[in-house]
Structure 1
Amino acid sequence: MDPRLDRDTSNCSIARTLEIIGEKWTILILREVWYGSSRFSDFERVLGCPRNLLSTRLRMLVEEGILAIETYKEPGSRSRPKYVITPKGMDLVPAVMGLLQWGDRYRADPEGPAVLARHRDCGAPVDVRISCERGHPVQVKDIESVPGPAFRMRSPE
Protein backbone atom coordinates (compact mmCIF):
# COMPACT_ATOMS: atom_id res chain seq x y z
CA MET A 1 0.00 0.00 0.00
CA ASP A 2 1.20 3.52 -0.79
CA PRO A 3 2.33 5.09 2.55
CA ARG A 4 0.98 8.48 1.42
CA LEU A 5 -2.53 7.05 1.75
CA ASP A 6 -1.98 6.71 5.50
CA ARG A 7 -0.99 10.34 5.98
CA ASP A 8 -2.85 12.62 8.36
CA THR A 9 -4.59 15.25 6.21
CA SER A 10 -6.02 17.28 9.10
CA ASN A 11 -3.35 19.95 8.59
CA CYS A 12 -3.63 20.20 4.79
CA SER A 13 -2.97 23.74 3.54
CA ILE A 14 -5.43 23.30 0.66
CA ALA A 15 -8.23 22.28 3.01
CA ARG A 16 -7.43 25.17 5.37
CA THR A 17 -7.45 27.63 2.47
CA LEU A 18 -10.78 26.31 1.21
CA GLU A 19 -12.26 26.89 4.67
CA ILE A 20 -11.70 30.60 3.98
CA ILE A 21 -12.08 31.09 0.22
CA GLY A 22 -13.66 27.86 -0.98
CA GLU A 23 -17.15 29.26 -1.42
CA LYS A 24 -18.56 30.78 -4.62
CA TRP A 25 -19.50 34.20 -3.23
CA THR A 26 -16.10 34.67 -1.60
CA ILE A 27 -14.23 34.07 -4.85
CA LEU A 28 -16.63 36.34 -6.72
CA ILE A 29 -16.13 39.12 -4.15
CA LEU A 30 -12.38 38.84 -4.70
CA ARG A 31 -12.90 38.97 -8.45
CA GLU A 32 -14.90 42.18 -8.09
CA VAL A 33 -12.28 43.74 -5.81
CA TRP A 34 -9.65 43.10 -8.51
CA TYR A 35 -12.01 44.57 -11.11
CA GLY A 36 -12.25 47.74 -9.01
CA SER A 37 -15.34 47.36 -6.79
CA SER A 38 -14.91 48.51 -3.21
CA ARG A 39 -18.34 49.33 -1.75
CA PHE A 40 -20.98 47.02 -0.34
CA SER A 41 -23.56 48.45 -2.75
CA ASP A 42 -21.24 47.74 -5.71
CA PHE A 43 -20.82 44.10 -4.69
CA GLU A 44 -24.54 43.71 -4.06
CA ARG A 45 -25.47 45.19 -7.44
CA VAL A 46 -22.88 43.33 -9.53
CA LEU A 47 -23.05 39.95 -7.78
CA GLY A 48 -26.71 39.71 -6.85
CA CYS A 49 -25.57 38.02 -3.64
CA PRO A 50 -28.08 38.04 -0.77
CA ARG A 51 -27.21 40.90 1.63
CA ASN A 52 -26.77 38.64 4.66
CA LEU A 53 -24.34 36.34 2.80
CA LEU A 54 -22.45 39.27 1.31
CA SER A 55 -22.10 40.87 4.74
CA THR A 56 -20.88 37.61 6.26
CA ARG A 57 -18.35 36.97 3.49
CA LEU A 58 -16.96 40.52 3.57
CA ARG A 59 -16.62 40.39 7.36
CA MET A 60 -14.76 37.06 7.13
CA LEU A 61 -12.41 38.40 4.43
CA VAL A 62 -11.61 41.37 6.70
CA GLU A 63 -11.15 39.14 9.77
CA GLU A 64 -8.77 36.93 7.77
CA GLY A 65 -6.75 39.97 6.65
CA ILE A 66 -7.53 39.45 2.96
CA LEU A 67 -9.48 42.70 2.72
CA ALA A 68 -9.25 45.82 4.88
CA ILE A 69 -11.82 48.50 5.52
CA GLU A 70 -11.04 52.12 4.74
CA THR A 71 -13.37 55.06 5.08
CA TYR A 72 -14.36 57.30 2.19
CA LYS A 73 -16.65 60.31 2.03
CA GLU A 74 -18.36 61.69 -1.03
CA PRO A 75 -19.14 65.43 -0.93
CA GLY A 76 -22.38 66.07 0.97
CA SER A 77 -22.61 62.50 2.27
CA ARG A 78 -21.67 60.74 5.48
CA SER A 79 -18.52 58.64 5.75
CA ARG A 80 -18.84 55.08 4.50
CA PRO A 81 -16.64 52.00 4.50
CA LYS A 82 -14.93 50.64 1.42
CA TYR A 83 -13.10 47.37 1.05
CA VAL A 84 -9.52 47.27 -0.20
CA ILE A 85 -7.27 44.35 -0.96
CA THR A 86 -4.35 43.69 1.38
CA PRO A 87 -0.97 42.13 0.49
CA LYS A 88 -2.35 38.84 1.86
CA GLY A 89 -5.28 39.20 -0.54
CA MET A 90 -2.98 40.01 -3.45
CA ASP A 91 -1.24 36.67 -2.85
CA LEU A 92 -4.52 35.01 -3.90
CA VAL A 93 -4.42 36.60 -7.38
CA PRO A 94 -2.57 33.66 -9.03
CA ALA A 95 -5.11 31.18 -7.65
CA VAL A 96 -8.11 33.17 -8.87
CA MET A 97 -6.40 33.92 -12.19
CA GLY A 98 -5.82 30.17 -12.52
CA LEU A 99 -9.57 29.61 -12.10
CA LEU A 100 -10.24 32.29 -14.72
CA GLN A 101 -7.76 30.72 -17.13
CA TRP A 102 -9.27 27.25 -16.67
CA GLY A 103 -12.79 28.65 -17.04
CA ASP A 104 -11.84 30.53 -20.21
CA ARG A 105 -10.49 27.30 -21.67
CA TYR A 106 -13.27 24.90 -20.62
CA ARG A 107 -16.35 26.87 -19.51
CA ALA A 108 -16.42 30.11 -21.50
CA ASP A 109 -19.44 31.28 -23.45
CA PRO A 110 -19.43 29.94 -27.04
CA GLU A 111 -18.53 33.48 -28.17
CA GLY A 112 -15.46 33.47 -25.93
CA PRO A 113 -14.45 34.78 -22.50
CA ALA A 114 -16.40 37.64 -20.94
CA VAL A 115 -13.26 39.38 -19.64
CA LEU A 116 -9.71 39.26 -20.95
CA ALA A 117 -6.75 39.66 -18.59
CA ARG A 118 -4.06 41.76 -20.26
CA HIS A 119 -0.73 43.19 -19.14
CA ARG A 120 -1.38 46.91 -18.70
CA ASP A 121 2.07 47.92 -20.02
CA CYS A 122 2.19 45.91 -23.26
CA GLY A 123 -1.33 44.60 -23.80
CA ALA A 124 -0.30 40.93 -23.99
CA PRO A 125 -2.60 38.30 -22.44
CA VAL A 126 -1.78 37.31 -18.86
CA ASP A 127 -1.13 33.60 -18.36
CA VAL A 128 -0.78 31.79 -15.04
CA ARG A 129 2.24 29.52 -15.08
CA ILE A 130 4.07 27.36 -12.59
CA SER A 131 7.77 27.89 -11.95
CA CYS A 132 10.23 26.85 -9.28
CA GLU A 133 11.87 29.38 -6.96
CA ARG A 134 14.85 29.52 -9.34
CA GLY A 135 12.58 30.66 -12.17
CA HIS A 136 12.46 27.45 -14.22
CA PRO A 137 9.11 26.73 -15.89
CA VAL A 138 7.66 23.53 -14.40
CA GLN A 139 5.23 21.11 -16.00
CA VAL A 140 2.70 19.36 -13.75
CA LYS A 141 4.30 15.99 -14.53
CA ASP A 142 7.59 17.33 -13.12
CA ILE A 143 6.20 18.31 -9.71
CA GLU A 144 6.89 15.93 -6.86
CA SER A 145 5.17 16.06 -3.49
CA VAL A 146 7.48 15.25 -0.59
CA PRO A 147 6.84 15.30 3.15
CA GLY A 148 7.11 18.78 4.66
CA PRO A 149 7.91 19.84 8.22
CA ALA A 150 4.31 19.27 9.38
CA PHE A 151 3.85 15.90 7.66
CA ARG A 152 2.28 13.31 9.97
CA MET A 153 1.08 9.78 9.56
CA ARG A 154 -2.46 8.95 10.61
CA SER A 155 -2.72 7.56 14.13
CA PRO A 156 -3.44 3.86 14.24
CA GLU A 157 -7.02 3.22 15.28
Structure 2
Amino acid sequence: MGHAEREAGPEMTSAKQMVGWLVLSLLIGFVGAAAWIRSTVPLVAIPDFTWTIPLVLAVGVLVSAWPVKAMADGKKRTMNPLTAARIAVFCQASSRGGMILAGICLGAWFAFSGENAVFLNEQASAALWAGVASLVLAGAGWLGEWWCSIDDDDDDAPAAAQGA
Protein backbone atom coordinates (compact mmCIF):
# COMPACT_ATOMS: atom_id res chain seq x y z
CA MET A 1 0.00 0.00 0.00
CA GLY A 2 1.50 3.34 -1.03
CA HIS A 3 1.55 6.58 0.92
CA ALA A 4 -1.58 7.88 -0.82
CA GLU A 5 -3.46 4.65 -0.08
CA ARG A 6 -2.82 4.59 3.68
CA GLU A 7 -5.80 4.95 5.93
CA ALA A 8 -5.99 8.29 7.66
CA GLY A 9 -5.93 8.30 11.44
CA PRO A 10 -8.43 10.13 13.60
CA GLU A 11 -8.62 13.84 12.88
CA MET A 12 -7.58 16.28 15.57
CA THR A 13 -10.49 17.89 17.37
CA SER A 14 -11.12 21.35 15.91
CA ALA A 15 -11.73 24.50 17.94
CA LYS A 16 -15.22 24.66 16.43
CA GLN A 17 -15.99 21.16 17.75
CA MET A 18 -14.63 22.04 21.18
CA VAL A 19 -16.80 25.15 21.42
CA GLY A 20 -19.79 23.20 20.12
CA TRP A 21 -19.39 20.50 22.77
CA LEU A 22 -18.98 23.17 25.46
CA VAL A 23 -22.08 25.15 24.46
CA LEU A 24 -24.27 22.06 24.06
CA SER A 25 -23.22 20.56 27.39
CA LEU A 26 -23.48 23.96 29.11
CA LEU A 27 -27.13 24.17 28.05
CA ILE A 28 -27.79 20.59 29.14
CA GLY A 29 -26.08 21.20 32.49
CA PHE A 30 -28.01 24.40 33.14
CA VAL A 31 -31.41 23.02 32.15
CA GLY A 32 -30.81 19.77 34.03
CA ALA A 33 -29.65 21.48 37.23
CA ALA A 34 -32.44 24.07 37.10
CA ALA A 35 -35.04 21.34 36.63
CA TRP A 36 -33.54 19.30 39.46
CA ILE A 37 -33.62 22.30 41.82
CA ARG A 38 -37.32 22.84 41.13
CA SER A 39 -38.24 19.16 41.38
CA THR A 40 -39.10 17.29 44.56
CA VAL A 41 -36.14 14.95 44.14
CA PRO A 42 -33.50 15.57 46.85
CA LEU A 43 -30.27 17.09 45.55
CA VAL A 44 -27.08 15.06 45.70
CA ALA A 45 -24.11 16.96 47.10
CA ILE A 46 -21.12 17.57 44.84
CA PRO A 47 -17.99 16.82 46.92
CA ASP A 48 -15.65 19.79 47.32
CA PHE A 49 -12.68 17.75 46.04
CA THR A 50 -14.36 16.82 42.73
CA TRP A 51 -12.00 19.19 40.90
CA THR A 52 -9.04 16.93 41.67
CA ILE A 53 -10.23 14.13 39.37
CA PRO A 54 -10.00 16.09 36.08
CA LEU A 55 -6.66 17.57 37.16
CA VAL A 56 -5.17 14.13 37.85
CA LEU A 57 -6.46 12.97 34.45
CA ALA A 58 -4.92 16.05 32.79
CA VAL A 59 -1.53 15.21 34.27
CA GLY A 60 -1.94 11.60 33.07
CA VAL A 61 -2.75 12.80 29.55
CA LEU A 62 0.33 15.00 29.36
CA VAL A 63 2.64 12.39 30.89
CA SER A 64 1.47 9.69 28.48
CA ALA A 65 1.57 11.95 25.40
CA TRP A 66 5.08 13.23 26.09
CA PRO A 67 6.89 10.08 24.76
CA VAL A 68 4.92 10.37 21.49
CA LYS A 69 6.04 14.00 21.18
CA ALA A 70 9.63 12.97 21.90
CA MET A 71 9.45 10.33 19.17
CA ALA A 72 7.95 12.82 16.69
CA ASP A 73 10.71 15.31 17.51
CA GLY A 74 13.36 12.63 16.90
CA LYS A 75 14.50 12.51 20.54
CA LYS A 76 13.26 8.95 21.02
CA ARG A 77 14.04 6.25 18.49
CA THR A 78 10.99 3.99 18.43
CA MET A 79 7.63 3.43 19.96
CA ASN A 80 5.09 0.70 19.44
CA PRO A 81 2.60 2.15 16.91
CA LEU A 82 -0.32 0.58 18.75
CA THR A 83 0.75 2.29 21.98
CA ALA A 84 1.07 5.63 20.18
CA ALA A 85 -2.39 5.19 18.65
CA ARG A 86 -3.90 4.37 22.04
CA ILE A 87 -2.33 7.48 23.54
CA ALA A 88 -3.69 9.60 20.68
CA VAL A 89 -7.20 8.22 21.27
CA PHE A 90 -6.83 8.84 25.02
CA CYS A 91 -5.89 12.47 24.29
CA GLN A 92 -8.83 12.87 21.93
CA ALA A 93 -11.27 11.41 24.44
CA SER A 94 -9.84 13.66 27.15
CA SER A 95 -10.22 16.83 25.10
CA ARG A 96 -13.81 16.09 24.14
CA GLY A 97 -14.81 14.56 27.46
CA GLY A 98 -13.18 17.40 29.39
CA MET A 99 -15.12 19.95 27.37
CA ILE A 100 -18.41 18.09 27.92
CA LEU A 101 -17.77 17.76 31.66
CA ALA A 102 -16.78 21.44 31.85
CA GLY A 103 -20.01 22.45 30.16
CA ILE A 104 -22.16 20.36 32.49
CA CYS A 105 -20.36 21.63 35.60
CA LEU A 106 -20.44 25.26 34.50
CA GLY A 107 -24.10 24.94 33.50
CA ALA A 108 -24.86 23.61 36.98
CA TRP A 109 -22.83 26.49 38.44
CA PHE A 110 -24.98 29.01 36.57
CA ALA A 111 -28.16 27.31 37.81
CA PHE A 112 -26.98 26.96 41.42
CA SER A 113 -25.55 30.46 41.76
CA GLY A 114 -28.90 32.04 40.96
CA GLU A 115 -30.49 30.54 44.07
CA ASN A 116 -30.57 31.91 47.63
CA ALA A 117 -30.08 28.64 49.54
CA VAL A 118 -26.74 28.23 51.35
CA PHE A 119 -26.49 24.59 50.24
CA LEU A 120 -26.86 25.58 46.58
CA ASN A 121 -24.23 28.31 46.91
CA GLU A 122 -21.79 25.73 48.29
CA GLN A 123 -22.69 23.42 45.41
CA ALA A 124 -22.15 26.29 42.97
CA SER A 125 -18.59 26.68 44.26
CA ALA A 126 -17.87 22.95 43.90
CA ALA A 127 -19.36 22.92 40.39
CA LEU A 128 -17.34 25.98 39.36
CA TRP A 129 -14.03 24.47 40.45
CA ALA A 130 -14.89 21.14 38.81
CA GLY A 131 -15.74 23.03 35.62
CA VAL A 132 -12.45 24.93 35.64
CA ALA A 133 -10.50 21.71 36.25
CA SER A 134 -12.40 20.08 33.39
CA LEU A 135 -11.36 22.93 31.09
CA VAL A 136 -7.76 22.18 32.10
CA LEU A 137 -8.38 18.51 31.20
CA ALA A 138 -9.78 19.54 27.82
CA GLY A 139 -6.76 21.76 27.19
CA ALA A 140 -4.34 18.99 28.16
CA GLY A 141 -6.15 16.57 25.87
CA TRP A 142 -6.06 19.05 23.01
CA LEU A 143 -2.33 19.65 23.55
CA GLY A 144 -1.79 15.89 23.66
CA GLU A 145 -3.70 15.53 20.38
CA TRP A 146 -1.42 18.13 18.83
CA TRP A 147 1.66 16.30 20.12
CA CYS A 148 0.35 13.02 18.65
CA SER A 149 -0.65 14.44 15.25
CA ILE A 150 1.22 13.43 12.12
CA ASP A 151 1.87 15.85 9.28
CA ASP A 152 0.23 15.02 5.94
CA ASP A 153 3.59 15.25 4.20
CA ASP A 154 5.25 12.77 6.59
CA ASP A 155 6.88 10.14 4.36
CA ASP A 156 8.30 8.07 7.21
CA ALA A 157 5.57 5.43 7.05
CA PRO A 158 6.26 2.06 8.66
CA ALA A 159 7.52 -0.65 6.32
CA ALA A 160 4.35 -2.70 6.83
CA ALA A 161 2.20 0.20 5.68
CA GLN A 162 4.27 0.69 2.50
CA GLY A 163 3.97 -2.92 1.40
CA ALA A 164 6.62 -5.43 0.42
TM-score by length of 2: 0.26
**In proportion to residue count, which structure has more helix?**
2
Give TM-score scaled by structure 1 length.
0.27
